[in-house]
Chain A
Amino acid sequence: MTESRVGVYVCHCGHNIAGAVDVEHLSEWALDLPQVVVARNYQFMCAGTGQELIENDIREYGLTHVVVASCSPHMHEKTFRNACERAGLNAYLFEMANIREHASWVHPNNRSAATSKAKALVSAAVHRVLKHQALEPMRVDIQPTTLVVGGGIAGIQAALEIADAGYPVYVVEREPSIGGHMAQFDKTFPTLDCAACILTPKMFDAGAHPNITLLTYSEIEQVEGSVGNFRVTVRRKARKVREDVCTGCGTCWEKCPVKVVDGVFEAGLGYRKAIYRPFPQAVPKYPVIDVENCTYFKTEKCRACERYCPASAIDFEMQDEIVTLTVGNIILATGYDLFDPRRIPQYGYGRLPNVFTSLEFERLTNAAGPTGGKITLRDGETEPRSVAIIHCVGSRDKAYNEYCSAICCMSSLKFAHLAKEKTNAEIYNFYIDMRPIAKGYEEFYHRILAEGVHFIRGRVAEITDAAYGPEEAGKLVVVAEDTLIGRQRRVPVDMVILAAGLEPRRDSQAVSHLFGVGCGDSGFFTERHPKLDPVATVTEGIYIAGACQGPKDIPDTVAQGAAAAARVLGVISRKQVLLEPVRASIDESRCSGCRVCNNLCPYNAIEYLAEPGVSRVNAALCKGCGTCVAACPSQAITGAHFTFDQIMAEIDGILIDVSDREQSPIEVLA
């Protein structure tokens, strides 16, 4: 066996590292580490010239192992692995020491400490890399079918892009129809084109596309497998209406005697029947029976819909159906929930009838809505003479959500315009800052200003019906500090619209666990990189699009839907994926069949073989998390690239005593 020859490369990262770590000294010092034959420092190791340095040294010095001391492996591990591969060195004979996030950035004002710590990290990497083994990535065929979760505009866009490229797509939607929030809106900012006019053709296309299979009124119960081969279990909730024969004629809901307040599509402002289609342009066109309110399911009587259905499509006995899909990639486009303004009691929503949420106002002003587009107070008749629109409700407020919900400024401007146009009422917008930041938005703001809408800069303290004087009697009084004139103001109005913020779906944590994607404290799904990889997630093969990733408006949502589709199409066109070979394996000669590991695997990759009485890891399912490796009481399970020898060598390396040359990092930091 040839002797190991290690090359160590210390990156300056401009001033990021060199500003705090003595890189010259560090690379010189590294020459004394075991088996190190060459050590260099360079301004930007990740640059082409930096990578060439490594490649040339691998060839010239016959390096068997490479260590780069630079940034986080999340950033550039792939870069340097590729450089090694190009020079003929197996990518896994490389190790990265993170001396930026772990040394220079955390000790910017202590050069000695940062340098000592960088030494310990480089030493750990050198000791570890000497134990590395060459590994080959696993090749897996990719299923060309894609699953899109959520049938809002993001999901529809993504599904159409992929289907148009010629690949099959499943769209799973929880509600009876696709369309999402956008289907509820009236006009869209800043162009004021009608939401239905631009959305429903896309919905229709999605429903009619030969490559798209819609699974509406369905929820995902289980996800197994990994990129290329996910197995997804879907519960198709029983519609009680047979889709294969229903024509969507509408006789059933005309005949249904039960009226139910529609809390979903009409935001509680309108009614639907117990058998219903959420809205006329719903896709698919089939209705669904709401078994909680249906007379038949309560009393076993009625059956009006069944009796009148010309197609005999009603099936009261229909049960939920479980279907299993095999897909290569998944796009999560699960959207958002509206902030519930009841959480801000001083705004009176739910207590003061004429305080409306933004979604309620969308339905009020929608020509297909419960009032036929007439803007009225809660009584359904009276037109408001004055309207206050409160921005940032539940947003930019540490008590609720610290983030900006991104869309409320523009939708508030839109509401101001619509209310002004339809009622000619006095409109007061209460804002903290105006953020009309995208194309055409600032112009729209100026247009609304020109229309004579009042803008009051200040967060609203309270909305009350307690009148101080006759001019306030019978009105809602909006109390706010006008920060531009430095005075408290009380503005009496007939109607208040709360521009409620966008929140993650209430079940976003559970969904993130189900799919194995990250989900920050806020609850929005975490992208792989906030700037450079905004629609991928840490899980290969799972992408995110639209408001489930963070608050965003329709143009951005559509762009993300298309971006996620492009990423998926890229994966499909590769036909195969390379999977990290970091996998667990069981040494069957030392497995006693104790079965401690059997229940632990989050990916169900471990099976117990009664004969010969050992457990086995299915490498295709294993993701290399290491849970079983840590649990195996016989140490019969090894995680490739994280072997006991490698980890102990790393610890041995990091515990070098640098104190004989200078201060030890521990002393300095204590």
Chain B
Amino acid sequence: MGPVLAGFLQLLALIGALALAYVPLGNYMAKVFSADKHWRVEMWVYRGIGADPDAKMRWPAYLRGVLAFSAVGVLFLYLLQRIQGVLPGSFGFSSIEPAQAFNTAASFVTNTNWQSYYGEQAMGHIVQTAGLAVQNFVSAAVGIAVAVALVRGFARSRTGELGNFWADLVRGTIRILLPGAAIAAIVLVACGAIQNFSGIHEVGQFMGGSQQWNGGAVASQEAIKEFGTNGGGYFNANSAHPFENPTPFTNLFEIFLLLVIPFALTRTFGVMVGSVKQGYAILAAMCTIWLGFVVLMMWTEFAHHGPALQAAGGAMEGKEVRFGVGSSSIFAVSTTLTSTGAVDSFHSSFTGLGGGITMLGMMLGEIAPGGTGSGLYGMLIMAVIAVFIAGLMVGRTPEYLGKKIGSREMKLAAIYILITPALVLVFTAISMALPTPPHSMLNSGAHGFSEVLYAFTSAANNNGSAFAGLNANTDWFNTMTGSAMLLGRFLPMVFVLALAGSLAEQKPVPVTAGTLRTDKPLYAGLLVGTIVVITGLTYFPALALGPLAEGLA
């Protein structure tokens, strides 16, 4: 069997596994967010928080919960890093400098997991497990909560109530993320991922002398890093490190983990709005983009254009032998089309076009299938825009799921899609125009520009992967990418929740013969077209200066 065929068989196996999980996980999540009863352990948690989980929240209250919880999260994680030097179990590592600590705190709270530090020489046990890994859970749960609030906005009428943020946060963490991560962590350990609390220790070598490794609770963090589409590696090499991702099976398993919630949430959406077909249409649009990107990526990586890769005879630079080109390509596309940003191979050394595909994946807004929660709400905003465009064509007031898309709804949706591109392009332009920031580039020319563009695309879209040649640990990049992450995460959430509130207040419009059917393939096609056109128009000039120039050179 050749590597290309093996690559496609792995893709088929992955699709099969995702298809098997789709209905049960999607239904389960719908039940979690619709159930009246609280688990006893959850009641203890609510008592600890001092919140009433049954209080109904309108959108401003829901948003205040999200912002307060996240603000405290940033501050707590910042302080934890600043006092690392005196914490036990820190391997003797010193405290993290302010700019980097801010960047890292913003990064993990926003589900970005951009890392301007080397995991194995910066973070000790407590910061990793009680700081970073906790945000892996709760930032994912916050994303799911906001998505569920938007779905409730579509599902409910004549009320402004979107549910209870604390209940959604706690249920998402305890009923969905925690059990899933626990099972996944055990599977990873069984395959060779490490899980211990030893310090830095010396291990003998074959030729004499010794290597030094740090121990760590790696498997438990790796599991939630993928399952919550976070992406921040325990080690610098992220999921390329054999202790994080030891075998070809774990590689496929990790891709499965990072895709399963975002895809299954379309089922949750369908169940909650009372028509699973509506979920299928959204799923179809996501799958079309994801599959198209995977095939394109495999083609360009197997063809290995680019002088260095031609000289080597294959695109193996930055890739591991056990994964090979096929499996690495699937990982790269899946991590950048979700908000994960974990890497099992280094995107900077991909072919010019391959690197461009990873960047384009993020520029689409990470909606195919996107991050946990953020993928669904991003896609639903696009769905609103697609019905609006269709409405313009036939001259009818657009409707989606029985709700009128009026001027207020369209303004909110339009501002949502403008925020991220504005952050990416403005921050990139400023960084290139100033005298010092470009010194951080490792490569020169088109690829150097791509490094900076990739950094802000990754930050503002809350992805976290990097063209890691860029030296991002400077005050400029730490501060600016940190700000891009916070703005790119929470500003859009404001408009998502405002939209949800406005939809929930409406009374439903009856379906008539003239209503655009949004559960049909035609609509899914329209949705894909809308996404491609909007992204294409926004980013084409920037892409032409970077990856396209490199790929066509």
Answer whether A and B are interacting partners.
no
What residues make up the interface of B, taking CB atoms closer than 8 Å to A?
none
